Amino acid sequence: MTFPKKSKFYKNAIYNLLQRTIDKYASYNINMDYTQKEFLESRPQRLCKMCGKCCRVLTASISYEELKKSAEAGDKSSIEFLDTFEPYPSLEDALKADEKTVKNIPDYQNRTFYRCKHIGDSNLCPRYEVRYDVCRFFPSSPWAVVPPECGFEGWLFQQREFHKQHIRKLKEEAIFYKAKLKTNISEHEKGLYEQLIKKINERVKLYDKYDSEKW
């Protein structure tokens, strides 16, 4: 059944559709943790080559000093990280351990690199069954930087492209909604479109740290 565009039923149908879309985007923004959980659960662990490179040379998103302060303040992830990894004495030492992996990290000259305290020559982890989440869930993001030739490289690329396509689609929708604001619509409908644009912008902003403005 269809209704004339100027009818009350048609307008209510449009309002309801817009409100449902707003609620959906609001849920997207609230449930980023759930999205992360889905990523971790779908990660194919079989892709790991057990080369040990991600255990022998790695870096953190914050400095060593910040990590120590965070651990002293009781941050669980920082405590577990420092209990598992120790910093290389110098960048030169990290380069000697694995130059390709070090140079694969953006801005590597200004970073501290770490090595696992526990891994053996066989690349097996003696604490595997009780390992911390920092190890259990690596790579923990589509944007995780993995060593060259890591088994996860291709899969992570696919995951990044999935997110990029999602954000591109949202940007296209925002352009459409902004155009609707310039048409002859009611104040109520205008308010709904403005809410939609706001929710989309909130969602896109979550990806700013990954240079989403270039997508």
pLDDT at 41: 82
pLDDT at 28: 56
Distance CA 144, CA 159 (A): 11
Instruction: Label residue 93 by pLDDT band (50, 70, 90).
Output: very high
Model pLDDT, residue 80: 95
Q: How far apart are the first and last CA of the chain?
A: 39
What percent of the chain has a predicted confidence (pLDDT) above 70? 86
pLDDT band at residue 52, thresholds of 50, 70 and 90? very high
Domain boundaries, the chain: 8-39+160-214, 51-138
CA angle (71 as vertex; 68, 72 as ends), nearest 5: 85
Q: What is the pLDDT of residue 2?
A: 46
How far is 173 from 203, CA to CA, in rounded Å? 12
- Residue 193's pLDDT is what? 87
207 has pLDDT over 80:
yes
Instruction: Please write the tens of the pLDDT for every residue from 123-175.
Output: 889 999 999 989 988 998 899 999 999 999 999 999 999 989 989 999 999 99
Cβ neighbours of residue 19 closer than 8 Å, sequence gap 6 or more: 192
Q: Is the pLDDT of residue 83 over 60?
A: yes
